[in-house]
Amino acid sequence: DAGVIQSPRHEVTEMGQEVTLRCKPISGHDYLFWYRQTMMRGLELLIYFNNNVPIDDSGMPEDRFSAKMPNASFSTLKIQPSEPRDSAVYFCASSLQGTLRQPQHFGDGTRLSIL
């Protein structure tokens, strides 16, 4: 089992640039989640998908953030334009369809630094 795969692991870019984070969920999982982790705010749910359809994006901070899931094996989180306050670790997680009391499986994260 390959687990959830995120890329890149680290990203450093200047403010104003577009940033794209990528995620491959575990094969067969129907739910995909994007989280952001910072020291100040802890772990925050940004958006989640069920069967490739966005269900709840209320955690997305503002219009500069967007997420897509074009197929069951791939998702992107895009920030355009990026700002220094977007610096954080971004995690992708997936889980099996069901009651969602199923545990979520996390990737190793993308550490994003906006200069």
Partner 1 sequence: AQSVTQLDSHVSVSEGTPVLLRCNYSSSYSPSLFWYVQHPNKGLQLLLKYTSAATLVKGINGFEAEFKKSETSFHLTKPSAHMSDAAEYFCVVSDRGGADGLTFGKGTHLIIQP
What mask, x for binding partner 1 by CB under 8 A, covers residues 8 to 47? Answer: -----------------------x-x--------xx-x--
The whole-angstrom separation of Cα 7 and Cα 20 is: 9
Stretch of residues binding partner 1 (CB under 8 A), selected from 20-28, 55-63, 66-74, 76-84: 55-63
DSSP 36-66: EEETTTEEEEEEEEETTEEEE-TT--STTEE
Binders of partner 1 among residues 73 to 112 (CB under 8 A) are 91, 93, 99-101, 103-109, 111
Q: Which of 1, 14, 53, 58 binds partner 1 (CB under 8 A)?
A: 58
Environment class of 66 (CB within 10 Å of its CB; exposed 0-12, middle 13-18, buried 19+): middle
Residues that bind partner 1 in the complex, under the rule CB under 8 A: 4, 31, 33, 42-43, 45, 48, 50, 55-56, 58, 91, 93, 99-101, 103-109, 111
